[in-house]
Amino acid sequence: MKAHMITYGCQMNEYDTHTVQSQLVSLGADMVHSVDEADFVLINTCAIRGRPVNKVRSLLGDLRKLKTRRPIVVGMMGCLAQLQEGQDMAEEYGVDVLIGPGSLLEIGRVLENNEKFWALNFRDELHDHIPPPPPQGTLQAHLTIMRGCDHHCTYCIVPQTRGPQVSRHPDSILRELDTLLAAGVQEVTLLGQNVNAYGFDQGARMAGLPTFADLLRLVGRTGIRRVKFTTSHPMNFTEDVAMAMADTPAICEFIHLPMQSGSNRVLRRMAREYTREQYLQHIADIRKHLPNAVLSTDVIVGFPGETEEDFQQTLDLYDEVGYDQAFMFIYSARPGTPSHKHFEDLPKELKTERLGRLVELQKQWSQRRNAALVGSAQEVLLRGDAVTEGFLEGHTRGNHPVVVPKALGADAAGVYTARIEHATPHMMYGKLLDAHGQELPELPKLTPEAAAMTNPLQMA
């Protein structure tokens, strides 16, 4: 079988894709790079908003046409596959394989079945499954520490798609981390729908499991160079998490803490279980222990019933916190959620106008925060070539995107120090430094003639 996977959605989906790809390869499948090469196409879907759902629908339409021209097996996995909406879509477009987020290890049975195969159960063995490590030399990796969510925000479909929260045992987490370290990983991101609630499944403290703050300390002492985590829920955030970040050098001074709205009235309608005042206390705790913390957030604009006064409170909270980065979305009604069932949506034009104002405010704060780092030396994980020839791209410990010119003594990927020389709201530009803080000489720019001389094809 020649298999090709297409992934939509969050980092958890990327982790799940790696798990399934590893299963397919271990069973003899050959992973290929395009739909044209494949006889099995598997789509890892997202259902959190309407846009990724529409993308899947469009792709399934194209694959249905392809099936009329040649034999091909089409599969769906992920959150949308778990929902009735996705199952109806699968029937409509003739999907052959349907696998929910809790049944990833069932993928092997796809190779054994010539008929339609659906697996939508939540399986306990998934929580301790350790996928094979990434290729040697991989610098970044994700590591799932828990699955599911016990909160029931009125707009969110995740509890229906991924089930109740189940925390993974730290021994299993550390064993997987060992495989990542052996592969050369230098930065790992711990994943969970709500990492702050780690160890407290279905509202009860799980015997033998540490708190999330203590888990951070455990992971940070393994020798991994950089540790990040996402996503945090303010309801379960504790000051001890900020303290663990401050006293564990490997934990990056970056925290993503979704606020969703600055209005208590809207937060209640969202069933977020915290107030604006409690959220700001968390920010104060973070700043107390991590004065230079980089803060990121999520915001939903135009939630049903949001007034101009409610939205202004969100803008005011932005100015009070001064976020470095943010993910901002127009509210998207999802079938099966309480907000879709009970609340009337706002006009799209109104939501779009408010989003525009919020984006503009965020750009101002991002510019201000990024400009403050000009002249500083930052640890940068370089991932490889940038879009612009002669440059490398990477990111700081605070998740700031950085572009630097190629320099003598620097490989295409690795961890380096860069002096930031210029910043925009979305990007920083710098120069690589040596161990003594001196600027590394840039690689000479090749003339077209010299470039041709180094190209064996052109020389031939």
CA-to-CA dists, residue 133 to 124, 140, 162, 253, 345, angstroms: 21, 11, 24, 26, 45
Q: Is there a binding annotation on residue 153? A: yes
Residue 103 in 3-state DSSP? coil
**261 with 267: CB under 8 angstroms?**
yes
Q: 161, 100 in Cβ contact below 8 A?
A: yes
Burial class (CB in 10 A: 0-12, 13-18, 19+), 149: buried
* Annotated binding-site residue? 79: yes
Tokens 């940070």, located at residue: 220
- Distance between CA atoms of residues 363 and 10, nearest Å: 23
Phi, psi of 368 (to 5 degrees): -65, -45
How far is residue 139's CA from residue 414's CA, in Å, rounded to a whole number? 7
Q: Cβ–Cβ contacts within 10 Å for residue 19, how many?
A: 19
Alpha carbon of residue 309 to chain centroid: 31
Query: Is 10 flagged in the annotation as binding?
Result: yes
- Contact status, residue 85 vs residue 103, Cβ threshold 8 Å: no
- Measured distance CA(47)–CA(405) in Å, rounded: 39
- Whole-angstrom distance, CA of residue 146 vs CA of residue 173: 10
Residues at the binding site are 10, 46, 79, 149, 153, 156
Residues at the binding site for [4Fe-4S] cluster are 10, 46, 79, 149, 153, 156
